[in-house]
A and B are shown apart, each in its own frame.
Chain A
């Protein structure tokens, strides 16, 4: 629907590809105007001009050897340990007495003086600036049009801890952090394979954020990887402060109603998704990793489903599906039944319900709307408020939602149960929580207008809408539509992990689909 209605938003002009993380192609493109000046005074002037009013900028000038070659060390404070800079760079330079013969000052510095591991040569002033801004130390040498970039970064970071959003009882407790490098290590530790590829990218005109595209070569469909690359490269935006910024750019459709990109904070989950043929996108500064293509069924999958008893996992999967539908439909169904189809309600229940509704001045629709919206307010308050007030709000919420509304004659008791049940059910499927909240209200309105027919109408329209949606060439309702019998093993039920012989067909390359050859059952009594 969005595609048709909002086609006037289509004017997304084609963009030029952005810079890549590697330095060489960029330098070769650069023209002479951004070359590093040979005179050290000019460099100093330029740097001071660029970093004027930046109090965290450090510029240190030292002299090398007997010739007293002037060297400028430029960096930003706080990205690294100052002692390391002093010990490994400044001290050797100052102490150098100049006995060895050397062809150029560059080889001398890199081969005999600087005791650091991460050393790169830079050729353009622009890349020097980028280097300084990303936390590297840049060395300018008098009389040279090249500079050194030295990586000393040991950034401040949060320790790897359990993510609050995705709790697991069994399995890994690790969660991604804000540091891209740490996150990549977390993934690499799980997939020790050269086929696990990490492509890097810099996005955001002002922020210059590091982005990494991860996939497993040979499993992920190449056209999806290519498409991810293209879509990321065509992003033209000031700032990428979180992966969520990219999410809106790369998802299919202008205004998709349902989530089209997966989010996760758990490395084991992302690793599993990579191994199924998905592509992960990481950004520096965000613990949330994006995975594409995203299918609806992924919202209902949990990492723990694959760890233990498959029958229990299947039960849980069904329960999750059911609770999503309960959370979306229950208030609407209540309104439809009470205002259009009273015959559905068993007679005795109807009597009780009539008794509870006796003193209520509103129609069941208004009543339901009030309760559903109150619940949403409480939910949002619980999320945003400072933790210290939490207790107070939840007590007030419980009393408002529970007792007071009923005794004040604003809502009937059955409706309190329904609103609370719908609300709680929506927490079971976090990726669809936001969609669910909107859908619940849409269905509530439809139910008030046309009863069950209205609910049917909305459901049918959304089904058609969803059937037309694709996330990176994969229909998001797969494996239900298009129906893939084999992939049903991991849909509303979970088959034992040894029986999921193949990777999902819709995601992976055809020739490389075998995941396991199954389990061999040893005959009874046989021992090795």
Chain B
């Protein structure tokens, strides 16, 4: 096993970058319109539950990563086949994020640039970082992720002169959209934490993992809350439905100066971290299935992501309709929730059996 050590601070920072990711482009909670802030709070709480479950799964399997946990529970062959689900799922995430980022860039700032260039920029950075190894990923996130909340703070503070809070009223007129968008938020943001099961075993203290992750989740939830309520206030509940990129519009509405392109650069950080973590996990799992070095696989999967992103989502509308359909939520349920629960139960039972076996042996 490689002995890469990640500090808990680095873990938290990667997690914040990952959660933050592309949410500035498309905040799933926006589906709840004027009750978006309630959806964010509910979603974050739901996220805490799912993440606790995933962290607990990592904790009881003592230093095993995702692949090893699955192999431990289902045996070598079945485990490897089941891992395919995760590879495909992480691949889907990476494709979605790549495409979301590049479509955003093309729509907003670079209408005349071919989209492939934007995709390439993203993938080259992700491949280079993933190849450099986990400790480099951690360190680069330490430097760059603090810029994310900074940019949000700047935009939010510049727009603070708004004092009209009637946009929040009436509260909870319709309950189903709130529930739906909070589920959306859990499934597309927080429950993706499952990918961190490939990273968690390499952090340097087991104790701090929970704390670091909870902090990361809390901060990400807070950021989402700030963004969604700010956008609601600035753009207004009537208009927000028709705005594709509310955060961008909000940045454009800063009086006398428009710093939106600078703010959009944040997406590069968030988008790269999302793709990067998925890419790293995919390559690592594949490499461990076949017992090979993971580094040569990274560019290969990077290329695959580029090609698949064009194949799966040829244009922005396709992407939009997939993001907002139930399909995305549905296909993420098995890898995010069902399998981890099954894994948790099986490993709990197995651990107990082992303990009993040890006890009876010693007795």
Instruction: Spell out A's residues near B (CB within 8 Å).
Output: 1, 4, 340-341, 343-344, 346, 450-457, 460-461, 463-464, 467-468, 475, 477, 480-483
Contacts and interface: CB of A to CB of B under 8 A. Distances in A.
B109 interface: yes
B144 A460 contact: yes
Contacts of B129: 464
B265 interface: yes
15 contacts: A343-B260, A343-B261, A344-B257, A344-B258, A346-B257, A450-B110, A452-B265, A453-B105, A453-B109, A453-B110, A457-B268, A464-B129, A480-B143, A481-B142, A483-B142
Given A453-B268, A457-B124, A481-B139, 10 more contacts: A341-B109, A346-B257, A450-B110, A452-B262, A453-B118, A455-B265, A464-B129, A467-B140, A481-B143, A482-B139
Which 4 A-B pairs give the minimum distances between C-beta atoms?
A481-B139, A467-B139, A341-B261, A481-B142
Nearest to B266: A456
Nearest to B276: A464
A341 B265 CA distance: 12
A344 B259 contact: yes
Contacts of B117: 450
Contacts of A343: 258, 260-261
Nearest to A4: B131
B142 A346 contact: no
Contacts of A341: 109, 261
Contacts of B9: 483
B311 to A, nearest CB: 24
Contacts of A452: 109, 261-262, 264-265
B7 interface: yes
Interface in B1-36: 7, 9-10
B125 to A, nearest CB: 5
Given A453-B268, A461-B125, A481-B142, A340 B109 contact: yes
Contacts of B362: none
B301 interface: no
B261 A344 contact: yes
Contact of A468 (B136, B144, B265): B136
A453 B271 CA distance: 13
B128 A461 contact: yes
Contacts of A340: 109-110, 261
B25 to A, nearest CB: 14
A342 to B, nearest CB: 10
The B contact surface, by secondary structure, is: helix
B142 A456 contact: no
Given A467-B140, A477-B143, A481-B140, A460 B261 contact: no
B110 A451 contact: yes
Contacts of A480: 142-143
A483 B10 CA distance: 8
Contacts of B261: 340-341, 343-344, 451-452
Interface in B95-149: 105, 109-110, 113, 117-118, 121, 124-125, 128-129, 131-133, 136, 138-140, 142-144
Contacts of B50: none
A455 B121 CA distance: 11
A457 B272 CA distance: 10
Contact of B113 (A4, A346, A450, A456): A450
Chain B interface category by residue count: 35 or more
Contacts of A451: 109-110, 261
A450 B258 CA distance: 19
A467 B136 contact: yes
B272 A460 contact: yes
Contacts of B7: 482-483
A453 B102 CA distance: 11
A247 B9 CA distance: 34
Nearest to B141: A481
Contacts of B136: 464, 467-468
B10 A482 contact: yes
Contacts of B125: 457, 460-461, 464
B256 interface: yes
B306 to A, nearest CB: 15
A337 B257 CA distance: 13
A346 B258 CA distance: 8
A528 to B, nearest CB: 45
A453 B265 contact: yes
Contacts of B269: 460
Contacts of B262: 344, 452
A40 B163 CA distance: 103
A463 B143 contact: yes
Contacts of A464: 125, 128-129, 132, 136, 140
Nearest to B143: A481
B144 A463 contact: yes
Contacts of B132: 464, 467-468
Contacts of A475: 139
Nearest to A343: B258
Nearest to A347: B256
B341 to A, nearest CB: 35
Nearest to B259: A344
A415 B117 CA distance: 29
Contacts of B260: 343
Nearest to A3: B132
Nearest to B257: A346
Interface in B126-177: 128-129, 131-133, 136, 138-140, 142-144
Contacts of B128: 1, 461, 464
